[in-house]
Structure formats: structure tokens, C-alpha cells
Amino acid sequence: MAAATLLLGRSAKCLVSATHLFSNAAKRRYLLVPTAISSLRQFSCDVNNVSNINQQPAVDKDKLVSDILSQLGSMREEIEFLRKAKEESRESPREEKTVVVKEKHPLLKQIELAMSKDETSSRADILPGGFEVECDKPGVAKVTLKKAYKKETIKIEVFSPCYCDDEYELKVIVKVSFSRIFSSIVSEFHCTATNGQLIIDKIKDPSDGPNCEGVIFERLPLGLQTEFYMYLVTRGIDDDTSDMLHEYMVDKMKRENMRGLGKFKKFVEDA
């Protein structure tokens, strides 16, 4: 009975020490923790058996004490393993995570630089003479303006600018259409808008078909040419309108360039 009491005292101290170590080890998720906990549970049951040994005379006391000593030996090995693992974890330096920054493609840098300097806008604020933008779709090389004048509907179709043959100057192709309510007759003025001047090239009836050149304006008498220009001026189409159309289409050309650069930028980023 004295041996069992001494064994119980030693076992209690060992049990407290093992529980403390296993609690710390559990935070680091050591693989032997489940086994150690199982041993502790079995060891606790055996201790209870020893404490109740007087009430259970059929139990083999020598075998029970031998089992407890065997479990204590196993627990000492596991505790020693956990101590070594704890010391190694303190000594081993933590690996620093290196963040790999992908270098930006030189072409992408230049595209972003060009786009950051972009100063384009819809330019709807520059439209004079009561004209409104009826159609200005991205990717379409044409802008349609529209306004009402008395019983007439005036429509201006402006096409993308191009360079003049022998000049470093942009020209804009303009088609001015006049139609009246309750009338099927439509008249078209085909013009060229340069910076500061609107030039009439020809006058045409669209019902004549594409093969008909229409009236070549420069072949008309000067007096008649003057009256045609006055006809346009009365309806708010003059040299100021030419400046507006020129500025608007140059701005649209820049916007289309930026739109194309934006698409190619996305293509490079996805590579």
C-alpha cells in the first residue's frame, strides 16, 4: 500500500508536468500530441485503479504497477521529444517571405505615359449655332450633328480628318443635308473644312445615285457661288463652323487613338 501511495505521488507530479508540456506543444501542432493525450487518459485511469485498489481485491497489483511504470517510461520519451522540438523551433530562424514584383513591360510604361498626357473630351461644349451631336460612336469614323431651322432639318455628317496633299494641314470631309417637312427633296452640300475655312466642293441630290457627281461648285459663276455660301451662313454654317468641326474631329481622332491604346494596354497586361 505504501508503494502504491509513493507511486501515486510521483505520478501526480509527472501528470502536471506532462499536461503543461502537451498544452504548449498543442499550439505548435506536434504529431505526437494525440498519442501523448491518449497516454495521459490511460494513465489517469490507471491511477484511479491504484487509488481504489483496496476496493478491488481481484486486481493484480504487481501487473498494474508494472503497466503504470511502462506508461511513465513512454511518456518520458515523448516529453523529451517535445522539449527538443521546442528548442529547435526557437533556434531555427523564421524564413522571410520575399515578394516578387513583376517588372512592368517597357512598352506598357510608354502606353501609360501617353495616356496620362491625354487631354481629350467629348467636346460637346464647342458646338455653336444650336447644333447637337446626334451620333458619335466609338470606333466609327463619322460624327453626325443635327439642328432645326424653321421648317428645315439640317444634318451635318463629318468624317475623320486626313492630311491635305501638299500641306501639313488637316482637312475634314463634311456633308451638309437639308430636308423639309412633308417634302421628299433633299439637298446635299459636300464640303471640306480646314482650319478656318469651309469650302464647298459640290452640290448633289442624293437620289441621283453614287455615279452622279452632282454640280461641281468651282464651275459655277462667282455670283452664284457667293449666294450658295450666304445660304449656308444664314443657317449657321460658316467659317466658325468649320473651325468647330475641325477641332471636334481632331479631338475625336485623339480619343480613338486613346481607345486603341487602351485595348492594346490590356493585351500587354494579360500576357
Distance CA 213, CA 198 (A): 20
- Which helix (DSSP H) or strand (DSSP E) does residue 143 occupy? strand 142-149
Quick one: pLDDT at residue 268? Answer: 79
For residues 138 and 130, is the Cβ–Cβ distance under 8 A?
no
Classify each residue of 206-236 as buried b or exposed e, where b means 16 or more C-beta atoms within 10 Å of its C-beta: eeeeeeeebeebeebeeeeeeeebeebeebe
Neighbours of 203 (CB within 10 A): 17
Q: Are strands 152-159 and 142-149 parallel, antiparallel or unpaired?
A: antiparallel
Q: Which CATH superfamily is domain 115-269 in?
A: Mitochondrial glycoprotein (3.10.280.10)
* Secondary structure of residue 193 in the 3-state scheme: strand
Distance CA 256, CA 69 (A): 87
Quick one: pLDDT at residue 216? Answer: 93
Quick one: pLDDT at residue 189? Answer: 93
Quick one: pLDDT at residue 225? Answer: 94
Quick one: pLDDT at residue 251? Answer: 84
Question: Using alpha carbons only, what angle is made at residue 248 by residues 216 and 267, rounded to the nearest 5 degrees?
Answer: 115
Query: Where in 150-256 does DSSP place strands (E)?
Result: 152-159, 162-163, 170-180, 186-194, 197-204, 215-216
Quick one: pLDDT at residue 30? Answer: 46
Quick one: pLDDT at residue 200? Answer: 93
Low-confidence residues of the chain: pLDDT under 70: 1-62, 64-65, 68-69, 72-73, 75, 91-102, 118-126, 128, 162-170, 271
DSSP at 41: H
CA distances, 110 to each of 105, 228, 240, 269 (Å): 9, 49, 36, 13
Count of H-run helices and E-run strands, the chain: 6, 8
